[in-house]
Amino acid sequence: MKKIINNPADFVEESIDGLVKSHPDVYAIAEDNNRVITRTKKASNKVGIVTGGGSGHLPVFTGYIGKGFLDSCAIGSVFASPSVEQMVSAIKNADNGNGVLCIIGNYGGDVMNFEMACEMVGAEGIKTKKIIVADDIASAKEEEKSKRRGIAGMIFVFKIAGAIAETSASLDDIFKIASEANNNIRTLGVALSPCILPEAGKPTFEIKNDEIEIGMGIHGEPGIKREKLRQANDLVDDLYKRIMDDSKLMANDSVAIMINSLGATPLEELYIISKRVNENLSKSNIKNAKTYVGRYATSMEMAGMSITTLKLNDNLKKYLLAKSECPFWNN
């Protein structure tokens, strides 16, 4: 294992501390729990927007706190769910008396613990609603969409919900529009190499140097197909077709696209991928309102990438492109 770290047992706390010290105008550690991050300047008179999940995926989850995005986030150990206690703290720190929307990736521990946390704060009078993001088309068939994992597409839901909340909209209204966005998102990725968890000290899976795995999850969950590495255009065409078939996008639809590095894949390769995706969109007569290229949802140092599409209408486009203040987002 080659990592620039100190004691592996301190990895999460030190990375959180470094994030806060690097961006003290944006992030703060909650006074009641050192695994909860909040906005430095707490918002008022708005619905709180909260998420939570395991470490090892920056900028997901913690990185997306900020004006026009999240209000707080509970952080678990590497690839592990936060505790119920941490989630309760995140919800309470985001609450302004107008309710809290919890946006959760579809993983058993995250969903179960947030459900318990929402019940506990509900007993104290805090109203909550939950959106479970399940955008990974490789993890279940369309008719079993509720079983799909939540991956990079959740960032679009964070952004849209956060933007709506800044308008002082009600919890019900934010839930309705953000749920529409959630239903319009599809993601598919490919892994080229594994990552190494600091405390484990060994790769999360094994794959040959000339192989890739389509649909592998961000924790090393099995994908749908392992095959020989192909040229970029051929690979992108395959992923694009799978996404189009699942999303039922049609000519003259409008979308936003995210080309995401899983950690180690460099920007140059991402832009080669983006070039081909945009060429395919043009051939399909689908309008691309915005392309996001970079590291948005990672898996430590895993090499690989994912492609996400979000079908837009005028309302979703307005909130997606609304100004925000977040170190890991460019509008």
Instruction: Show the domains of the chain with their CATH numbers.
Output: 8-183 (3.40.50.10440), 185-313 (3.30.1180.20)
Question: How many Å apart are CA 331 and CA 268, to the nearest integer?
Answer: 21
User: According to the model, what pLDDT value does residue 330 have?
Assistant: 87
Question: How many Å apart are CA 213 and CA 222, to the nearest integer?
Answer: 8
Query: How many secondary structure helices (H) and strands (E) does the chain include?
Result: 8, 12
Distances (CA, A) of 33 to 11, 29, 60, 73: 17, 7, 19, 11
User: According to the model, what pLDDT value does residue 220 have?
Assistant: 85
- Low pLDDT (below 70) residues in the chain: none
**Sheet strand arrangement including 287-294:** 225-228, 211-214, 185-193, 303-312, 254-261, 287-294
Q: Which of 62, 95, 265 is nearest to 165 (CA)?
A: 95
* Cβ-based neighbours of 61, under 8 Å, separated by 6 or more: 51, 52, 53, 73, 75
- Ranges of beta strands (E only) in the chain are 27-29, 36-39, 48-55, 72-78, 100-105, 128-133, 185-193, 211-214, 225-228, 254-261, 287-294, 303-312
Q: Which of 181, 177, 155, 157 is nearest to 167 (CA)?
A: 177
- pLDDT per position as a tens digit, 250-283: 999 999 999 999 999 999 999 999 999 999 999 9
Q: Which of 105, 174, 190, 221 is nearest to 315 (CA)?
A: 174
Question: How many Å apart are CA 312 and CA 289, to the nearest integer?
Answer: 8
At position 127, the amino acid (one-letter code) is: K
Q: Name the token pair of 208.
A: 């040959």
User: According to the model, what pLDDT value does residue 1 have?
Assistant: 84
User: According to the model, what pLDDT value does residue 331 have?
Assistant: 82
- Catalytic positions, please? 57, 219
